[in-house]
């Protein structure tokens, strides 16, 4: 039971209590594995505070929520965080009964990233309630499907999202993350001909063909490790993470597939990424590449860029030391930067807590984030 008085803590607890697990492509009950419950809660919450919020589906039952606070400023700040969480199986705590203990709020999504959603809304509503003047128009955007395929952010961009700069809320412990790699994932398949294993010469073994694919990709991985490196992010990489093929030991396999994880540097284009991999396999017959099922760009915002400076100043004024850094993981910020919206990643909570069996967030971090964001937005 919640006894905390601060509105931002109550908001966070309410958000954690509404399951919004990402279905990750599985056939699971949509009441718990969808962002729609959180989306309707947020729409209502904002409406009661005089903020008109709308939602639209990025795929059936998977909405984004958007609200524009128009103060007739010349510039617009995007505040974006994702509503989906990873699944809650095997958690050591009750995932959807938010408990506050020793200054921490426990529950699935508390840190990744309902804490950021609460901090964004908490700072905006507090400024509005006090009648403070805003420096920028604010575009609040809460998206679906960050944990799996980045569909929400991609849909927002396709829908014509406009902003001058932005913050993507992720648990950075209030550090400013100004660069991270991107990631593209896809499958490569080989096609064989099935036969009885006593007569392998009558078939074509898809696993043998895949063997050659794997050797070439291993050589390609070594080339990438020696290729041009980014001063902040190092080299691009390629890795084979999954292999599957064959149906029984006495049947020559007619199919085999592998799954590729390619970590990219900012500026690498998807056509180049796939083209380079295809070129390594070009002359091999019976090999086919699926289109990527996930692709998000890397991003790099200069240390002296306006958005980094503004947020650093706000941190200093909010009494928190500004640290700027790079992250090993990909976020929605790659998608907005690719559209020319200078976007950094910043939010309360420690990434070490994300996706864990006893996920929590330090409430002090959430309150500090609110202070920093108020300093950033108030004129």
Of 63 and 171, nearer to Zn ion (C-beta) is 171
Q: Using CB under 5 A, pick the residue from 35, 84, 112, 254 that binds Zn ion.
A: 112
Of 80 and 112, nearer to Zn ion (C-beta) is 112
Q: Which residue has the tokens 């039952």?
A: 61
Report the nearest approach of Zn ion to the CB of residue 112 (Å): 4
Measured between its terminal Cα atoms, the distance across the chain in Å is 37
Window contacting Zn ion (CB under 5 A); options: 16-24, 39-47, 104-112, 154-162: 104-112
Window contacting Zn ion (CB under 5 A); options: 100-108, 113-121, 179-187, 213-221: 113-121
x/- map, 148-187, Zn ion, by CB under 5 A: ----------------------------------------
* Beta-carbon count within 10 A of 164 CB: 18
* Nearest residue to the partner Zn ion, using Cβ: 112
Report the nearest approach of Zn ion to the CB of residue 168 (Å): 9
Number of helices (H) and strands (E), helices first, in the chain?
A: 9, 19
**Alpha-carbon gap, residue 54 to 35, rounded angstroms:** 14
Window contacting Zn ion (CB under 5 A); options: 2-10, 35-43, 110-118, 127-135: 110-118
Report the nearest approach of Zn ion to the CB of residue 179 (Å): 17
Query: For 106-198, where are the alpha helices, taking DSSP H only?
Result: 115-129, 151-158
- Touching Zn ion, residues 9-38 (CB under 5 A): none
E-strand stretches of 74-222: 76-82, 99-101, 104-106, 137-143, 165-169, 176-180, 182-191, 195-196
Q: Are strands 99-101 and 53-59 parallel, antiparallel or unpaired?
A: unpaired
**Alpha-carbon gap, residue 35 to 285, rounded angstroms:** 43
**Alpha-carbon gap, residue 94 to 114, rounded angstroms:** 16
Inter-residue contact 113 to 345 (CB < 8 Å): no
Of 140 and 258, nearer to Zn ion (C-beta) is 140
The site that binds Zn ion (CB under 5 A) totals a number of residues, namely 2
Report the nearest approach of Zn ion to the CB of residue 86 (Å): 8
Report the nearest approach of Zn ion to the CB of residue 169 (Å): 8
Per 3-state DSSP, the chain is made up of helix, strand and coil in percentages (nearest 5) of: 30, 30, 40
- Asked whether the bond before 113 is cis by omega within 30 degrees of 0, the reply is yes
Window contacting Zn ion (CB under 5 A); options: 43-51, 84-92, 112-120, 158-166: 112-120
Report the nearest approach of Zn ion to the CB of residue 287 (Å): 35
Window contacting Zn ion (CB under 5 A); options: 108-116, 209-217, 242-250, 332-340: 108-116
Window contacting Zn ion (CB under 5 A); options: 107-115, 179-187, 219-227, 366-374: 107-115
Of 341 and 354, nearer to Zn ion (C-beta) is 354
- Residue partners of 44: CB distance under 8 A and separation at least 6: none
Report the nearest approach of Zn ion to the CB of residue 145 (Å): 11
**Alpha-carbon gap, residue 271 to 29, rounded angstroms:** 36
Q: Are strands 53-59 and 62-69 parallel, antiparallel or unpaired?
A: antiparallel
Inter-residue contact 114 to 29 (CB < 8 Å): no
- Touching Zn ion, residues 247-306 (CB under 5 A): none
Report the nearest approach of Zn ion to the CB of residue 146 (Å): 6
Report the nearest approach of Zn ion to the CB of residue 74 (Å): 31
Report the nearest approach of Zn ion to the CB of residue 156 (Å): 16
Of 22 and 113, nearer to Zn ion (C-beta) is 113
Of 109 and 122, nearer to Zn ion (C-beta) is 109
Of 20 and 113, nearer to Zn ion (C-beta) is 113
**Alpha-carbon gap, residue 21 to 180, rounded angstroms:** 25
Binding site for Zn ion (CB under 5 A): 112-113
């Amino acid at each position: 039971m919640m006894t905390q008085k601060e509105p931002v803590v109550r908001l966070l607890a309410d958000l954690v209590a509404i399951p919004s697990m990402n279905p990750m492509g599985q056939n699971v009950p949509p009441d718990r594995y969808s962002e729609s419950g959180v989306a309707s809660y947020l729409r209502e919450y904002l409406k009661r505070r005089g903020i008109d919020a709308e939602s639209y589906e990025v795929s059936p039952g998977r909405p984004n929520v958007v609200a524009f606070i128009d103060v007739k400023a010349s510039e617009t700040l995007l505040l974006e965080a994702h509503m989906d969480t990873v699944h809650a199986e095997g958690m050591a705590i009750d995932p959807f009964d938010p408990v506050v203990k020793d200054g921490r709020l426990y529950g699935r999504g508390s840190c990744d990233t309902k804490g950021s959603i609460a901090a964004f809304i908490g700072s905006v509503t507090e400024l509005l309630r006090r009648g403070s003047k805003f420096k920028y128009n604010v575009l609040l955007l809460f998206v679906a499907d960050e944990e799996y395929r980045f569909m929400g952010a991609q849909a927002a961009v396709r829908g014509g999202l406009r902003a001058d700069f932005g913050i993507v809320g992720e648990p950075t412990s209030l550090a400013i993350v100004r660069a991270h790699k991107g990631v593209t994932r896809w499958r490569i398949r080989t096609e064989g001909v099935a036969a009885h294993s006593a007569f392998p010469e009558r078939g074509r073994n898809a696993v043998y063909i895949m063997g050659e694919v794997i050797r070439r990709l291993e050589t390609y991985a070594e080339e990438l490790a020696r290729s041009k490196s980014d001063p902040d992010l190092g080299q691009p990489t390629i890795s084979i993470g999954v292999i599957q093929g064959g149906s029984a030991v006495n049947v020559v396999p007619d199919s085999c597939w592998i799954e590729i994880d390619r970590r990219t540097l900012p500026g690498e284009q998807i056509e180049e990424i796939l083209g380079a991999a295809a070129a390594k396999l070009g002359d091999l017959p019976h090999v086919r590449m699926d289109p990527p099922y996930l692709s998000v760009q890397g991003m790099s915002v200069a240390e002296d860029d306006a958005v980094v400076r503004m947020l650093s100043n706000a941190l200093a004024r909010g009494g928190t030391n500004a640290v700027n850094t790079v992250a090993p993981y990909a976020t929605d910020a790659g998608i907005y930067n690719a559209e020319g919206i200078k976007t950094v990643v910043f939010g309360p909570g420690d990434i070490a807590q994300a996706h864990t069996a006893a996920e929590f967030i330090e409430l002090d971090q959430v309150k500090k984030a609110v202070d920093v964001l108020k300093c950033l937005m108030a004129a």
